[in-house]
Each structure stands twice: as structure tokens, then as C-alpha cells.
């Protein structure tokens, strides 16, 4: 097959994988605004418990990223993604049982938490498998473009899933919503069944801590970026409801619309001009969006803040991820990406419960001040990173780079 045709075919497959991810990730996106509302209004627990129910899935992911990355490196990325989608379905089914169990409030909440923990493991396997599989299909030299596509599927699902989840919560209840979330990943699983697997690369393994030593700066930048999305996802709907503002479900829609727009227009920039430069500009925009949410006098400025947050968050992950790919050889790529994404998971997992305590005492607007400060710190770290020489890792084709002769 001619090289151009091969690349076009590989790109079409990655686009199809992105579509399957979008469909499957609706199960996660639709539950995100519904879970804290169910905890606060259905189980009558406070905001810290609502934030914990959202954030515990990301904490679970942190604990399993290294396992998922090593598994993808050793056994194959396709298998990793397939198992992750099965766990998505199982997690939603457990959350459904939580609403049917008729236990005590504590018992119902414990079952819900179990489902959210399983969702975190599914997230880890799905995303590491998807990214590693897609990069192998296209080429490491286009890793920024690959992660832009993956993000469009992911956050496009957030854009559609946020309001859709709230509508379904109102129409069919929490149990009905979780039933739908059980079916969607199974449809995605069927969609990717016939796609070709990629043979894992052989090579000497390294510990996750040694790999993190190479990539921690890029990971810290993406983690600080993730705080803004975490507070928006967990508390935007409750923020609007507390103010009596209309359209509480449009926060994730505005975020997702801005996110996908920038990915469509600027997805090539990390590969062309460098990931760190793209991240610096993006974090500045995200910080502005979070500060606008903090100070918003009404619903429309707040929705504009959500849009700016999406515009800013959009390119930080692929920008810094493309830098990570340059630093490791091919056979360690899955492990490196697992460690890299764990920084973002840490932000997602800890932000909800910690900032939920702040929301109880200072109000929901204060959580967006925290998001703005985090984005500002990420901006400063990305600026400082430009002055640090690149670590000796690998080139864009996975070959080891050697230190210059002294």
C-alpha cells in the first residue's frame, strides 16, 4: 500500500476510535453533574460528600495508571481499551444498584462509591489504551494531533453529556440514567471490535518512578490545568442552582464547545511550534475564565467563563503530552503516558472533596478562585520549563537520544 494511502487509512481508524470513545464516554459525562446532585438532594448529604463522589473516580485512576500503562506496553493497547470499556459498563451498573438497594443512606453512598472506584479503573485502562493505540497507528511524530483527537472525543462527550445527563436525571431518575450509562460503553466496545491491534514493542523496562523523574514538569503543568475543569465539573450546576440562575446544565456544554473548537483549529500546533509554547498561552486563557466565573454577576458572564475555561484547557494536555512522547522510547510510551495522566487525575481526584469544604463555608463562587490560582501557577511553571534543557529520552520515532560529547 502506498505510504500516503497507509497514513490516510490509519488516520481514519483513529477518527473512528475517537467516535467510539465519544459514545462510550457519554456514560462518564452524563453522570458527572448528576452524581453530586443525587448525593446532595437525593441522599441529603453535604457538598463535601458530593465532591468526594465525583473525585473518588479520579483517585482510583491515579492508583491504576501505572498498571494500565505497563499492561498496554506488554500486552497491547487494544486489549487495554476493551477491558476499560467493560469496566465503564460495570461501574454504571453498580451505581444503578445503589439507587435500588434501599439500604441506609450510608449503605447507598458506599455502593455508589464502589461504582465510582470501578469507573476510575475503567478510565485508566481506556484512556491509556486509546492514546497508545492511536499513536502507534499514526506515528509518534503526530502525537500532538492524536491527543487532540482523543480530547475532542472526550470533551465533546462532556459538552453533550452534561445537559443530557441532567435532562435524563429529571425524566427517568438516577437509576434510569445509570441504566443508559451501562449500555453506551458496550456499543463502543462493539464498534472497535474489528479494528487491528498493534504489536507491543520489546525493550528493557524501567520503574514508573524513574519515568516520572523525566516527565514531572509536564505532568505538574497538566495537573494544575486540571483543577479548573474539576471545580467546573463538580460544582457548576450547584453554583447556578444556589444563585437561582437558569441553564445550570450548560456549563459543561460551553466548556466542551470551547474545548472542541480549539482542538479543531489548533490541534496541529504542538507538533509544529512546540508543546510548551502552546501550554503557556492556553493556561493564561484558562485563568481568565476561572476568575470570570469567580466574579460573575449573572448567568451569562458565568457561562462565558465556562467557555473561556474550555478554550484554555483544550490544548494543555496534548501540548505537554507531545513533550512527554519525545522523552521516552517506544516500548515505555504507555507507562510514561500513564504516569503523565496521573498528574491530571490527582488534580481531579483531590479537588472535589477539598474544594467542597471551601464551598460549604465560603460559597460556590470561591471554588473558581482556586481554579484561577491553579491555572496561574501552571502558567508560571510552563514559562519556567522553557528554560530547562530537554531530558535525554528518545526522538519522535522512539530512538534513544544520547548526551552530547563533553
Q: Is residue 397 part of a domain?
A: no
Residue-wise pLDDT tens digits, 221-231: 999 999 998 89
Please state, rounded to an integer, the average pLDDT across all residues of the chain: 84
Predicted local confidence at residue 378, as pLDDT: 96
Residue-wise pLDDT tens digits, 270-314: 888 989 999 999 999 999 999 999 999 999 999 999 999 999 998
Q: Is residue 399 part of a domain?
A: no
pTM: 0.69
Q: Is residue 40 part of a domain?
A: yes
Q: Is residue 199 part of a domain?
A: no
pLDDT mean over 316-326: 88
Residue-wise pLDDT tens digits, 141-186: 777 778 878 877 877 787 788 789 889 999 999 999 999 999 999 9
Residue-wise pLDDT tens digits, 325-365: 888 877 777 778 878 877 887 887 788 778 888 888 888 99
Q: Is the pLDDT of residue 405 over 50?
A: no
Q: Is residue 402 part of a domain?
A: no
Q: Is residue 238 part of a domain?
A: yes
Q: Is residue 1 part of a domain?
A: no
H/E run at residue 150: helix 143-192
Q: Is residue 179 part of a domain?
A: yes
Count the helices and strands in the chain (H runs, E runs): 13, 0
For the chain, how many structural domains are there in total? 1
User: CATH number for the domain including 220?
Assistant: 1.20.1250.20
Predicted local confidence at residue 1, as pLDDT: 56
- Which residue range forms the structural domain that includes residue 260? 8-191+207-385
Q: Is the pLDDT of residue 25 over 70?
A: yes
Of 235, 222, 214, 205, nearest to 324 by C-alpha is 214
- For the chain, report the end-to-end CA distance as a whole number of angstroms: 45
- The region of weakest confidence among 85-99, 165-179, 333-347, 389-403 is 389-403
Cα angle 85, 87, 88 (rounded to 5 degrees) comes to 65
Amino acid at each position: 500500500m502506498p505510504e500516503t494511502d497507509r497514513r490516510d487509512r490509519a488516520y481514519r481508524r483513529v477518527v473512528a476510535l475517537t467516535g467510539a470513545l465519544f459514545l462510550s464516554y457519554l456514560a462518564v459525562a452524563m453522570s458527572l453533574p448528576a452524581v453530586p446532585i443525587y448525593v446532595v438532594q437525593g441522599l441529603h448529604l453535604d457538598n463535601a460528600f458530593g465532591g468526594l463522589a465525583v473525585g473518588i473516580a479520579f483517585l482510583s485512576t491515579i492508583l491504576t495508571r501505572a498498571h494500565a500503562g505497563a499492561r498496554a506496553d506488554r500486552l497491547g493497547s487494544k486489549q487495554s481499551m476493551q477491558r476499560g470499556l467493560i469496566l465503564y459498563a460495570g461501574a454504571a451498573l453498580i451505581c444503578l444498584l445503589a439507587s435500588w438497594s434501599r439500604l441506609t443512606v450510608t449503605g447507598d453512598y458506599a455502593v455508589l462509591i464502589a461504582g465510582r472506584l470501578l469507573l476510575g479503573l475503567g478510565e485508566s485502562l481506556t484512556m491509556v489504551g486509546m492514546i497508545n493505540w492511536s499513536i502507534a497507528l499514526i506515528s509518534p511524530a503526530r502525537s500532538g494531533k492524536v491527543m487532540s483527537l482523543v480530547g475532542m472525543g472526550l470533551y465533546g462527550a462532556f459538552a453533550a453529556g452534561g445537559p443530557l445527563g441532567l435532562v435524563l436525571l429529571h425524566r427517568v431518575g438516577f437509576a434510569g440514567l445509570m441504566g443508559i450509562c451501562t449500555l453506551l460503553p458496550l456499543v463502543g466496545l462493539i464498534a472497535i471490535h474489528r479494528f487491528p491491534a498493534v504489536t507491543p514493542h520489546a525493550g528493557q523496562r524501567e520503574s514508573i518512578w524513574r519515568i516520572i523523574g523525566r516527565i514531572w514538569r509536564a505532568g505538574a503543568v497538566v495537573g494544575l490545568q486540571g483543577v479548573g475543569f474539576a471545580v467546573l465539573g463538580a460544582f457548576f450546576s450547584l453554583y447556578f442552582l444556589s444563585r437561582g440562575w437558569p441553564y445550570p446544565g450548560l456549563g459543561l456544554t460551553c466548556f466542551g464547545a470551547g474545548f472542541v473548537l480549539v482542538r479543531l483549529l489548533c490541534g496541529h500546533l504542538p507538533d509544529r511550534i512546540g508543546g510548551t509554547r502552546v501550554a503557556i498561552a492556553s493556561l493564561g486563557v484558562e485563568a481568565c475564565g476561572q476568575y470570570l466565573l469567580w466574579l460573575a454577576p449573572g448567568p451569562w458572564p458565568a457561562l462565558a467563563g465556562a467557555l473561556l475555561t474550555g478554550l484554555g484547557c483544550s490544548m494543555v494536555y496534548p501540548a505537554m503530552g507531545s513533550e512527554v512522547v519525545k522523552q521516552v522510547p517506544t516500548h515505555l510510551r504507555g507507562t510514561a503516558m500513564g504516569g503523565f495522566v496521573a498528574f491530571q487525575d490527582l488534580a481531579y481526584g483531590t479537588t472535589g472533596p477539598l474544594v467542597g469544604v471551601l464551598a460549604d463555608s465560603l460559597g460556590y463562587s470561591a471554588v473558581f478562585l482556586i481554579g484561577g490560582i491553579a491555572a496561574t501557577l501552571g502558567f508560571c511553571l510552563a514559562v519556567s520549563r522553557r528554560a530547562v534543557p530537554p531530558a535525554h529520552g528518545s526522538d519522535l520515532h522512539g530512538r534513544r537520544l544520547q548526551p552530547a560529547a563533553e
